[in-house]
Amino acid sequence: MTTPATNRSFVTLAGVGHRYDPNPAIPSAVTGIDLDIRRHEFVAVVGPSGCGKSTLLRMIAGLLTPTDGEVSVFGKQVDGPRDDVGIVFQKPTLLPWLSVRKNVLFPLRHKYGRYSRADEKRADELLAMAGLESFADKMPDELSGGMQQRVGIVRALLLNPDILLMDEPFSALDAMTREQIGFDLLKIWEENPKTVLFITHSIAEAVLLADRVLVMSKRPGTVLDVLDVDLPRPRTTHTISEPRFGQLTERLRKHIYEPEAA
Ligand SMILES: Nc1ncnc2c1ncn2[C@@H]1O[C@H](COP(=O)(O)OP(=O)(O)OP(=O)(O)O)[C@@H](O)[C@H]1O
């Protein structure tokens, strides 16, 4: 029997490290990272500020070359920026002179010089999935911060990437919007499965969203623990009040604040 695609390693990091400064007196940003991410798995990454989370994300995106080890996707070494990767940053950086729909379509226009009616239809479907169907013709400054961030997520999804890399995507949002957009993201991800690497400073957010949480040490960033989040899906507001949710967040908190005691 063949192994289903969802159980095979999709993204593999083997002994991955990155040193920005060749001076050996300056520590590497990250070192010795071994990680297998399954296809369509949702992995969150937490760790202290400056531990190399964004460095890790940039290496998976092919935007930064590891100085040690190797990153591969489906067995092929990553050696440059990849087409099958969508990236969402903290700020959505929408173009203020384009409508929401045109912002979402912009990467297609940028890449291929044009987009088709089918692309427009897909953009509208994704906007509807993100609860933005009546905002497609609005300009970005007519939208709240949370809505703008949802547009950024839809824009990253339109190219239908296999891998979605998210670098603290909700950190500029207020707590209520942040929780809501987390559930929106889960809904979109459940309907459009993607392999997700999600960087966050929020322990609760990591546990609520992810299948596994990677805990990194302070610089040089290494993997302290990989926590399996065995909470059933779909996750809802009820998930937060489950005892297991509390146990998992407590364990993560210990790892981050008292790593030697965990
Ligand atoms: N271009 C660069 N040149 C030199 N050092 C860098 C560069 N980018 C990052 N660093 C350093 O590498 C380390 C890891 O940075 P990185 O941004 O990956 O950490 P992070 O965990 O994402 O941080 P934060 O949680 O604060 O966003 C930090 O000490 C940072 O100062």
Confidence of residue 9 (pLDDT cuts 50, 70, 90): confident
Q: Give the rounded percent of residues in the chain with a pLDDT score beyond 90.
A: 74
> Which of 19, 31, 54 has most ligand 1 atoms within 8 Å of its beta carbon, as the pocket-test mutant?
54
Whether this model's ipTM surpasses 0.95 comes out as yes
54 CA from centroid of ligand 1 (Å): 7
Share of the chain above pLDDT 70, in %: 95
CA distances from 73 to 36, 50, 60, 215 (A): 10, 25, 8, 22
218-227 tens-digit pLDDT: 999 999 999 9
Ligand 1 centroid from CA 182, angstroms: 25
pLDDT at 4: 43
* Greater pLDDT, 204 or 176: 204
The verdict on pTM exceeding 0.80 is yes
pLDDT tens across 110-163, in order?
A: 888 899 999 999 999 999 988 899 999 999 999 999 999 999 999 998 888 999
Q: Which atom of ligand 1 is nearest to the CA of 47?
A: 21
**Ligand 1: which residues within 6 Å by Cβ?**
20, 29, 47, 49-55, 219
Task: Quick: pLDDT tens for 36-75.
Answer: 999 999 999 999 999 999 999 999 999 999 999 999 998 9
Going from the N-terminus, what domains does the chain have, and what CATH number goes with each?
7-84+164-261 (3.40.50.300), 92-160 (no CATH)
Candidate from 55, 64, 65, 168 with most ligand 1 atoms within 8 A of CB, to mutate: 55
- 78 vs 1, residue with greater confidence: 78
Instruction: Tell me the angle at which helices 117-129 and 100-112 cross, rounded to the nearest 10 degrees.
Output: 140
Q: Is the dihedral of CA 138, 139, 140, 144 positive or negative?
A: negative
Question: Which residue in 16, 32, 65 sits closest to 222, CA to CA?
Answer: 32
Confidence of residue 178 (pLDDT cuts 50, 70, 90): confident
Q: Is cis: bond before 22, omega within 30 of 0?
A: no
Average of per-residue pLDDT values in the chain = 91
pLDDT band with cut points at 50, 70 and 90 for residue 12: very high
**Dihedral sign, Cα of residue 95, residue 101, residue 105, residue 109:** negative
Nearest C-alpha to atom 12 of ligand 1 is from which residue? 29
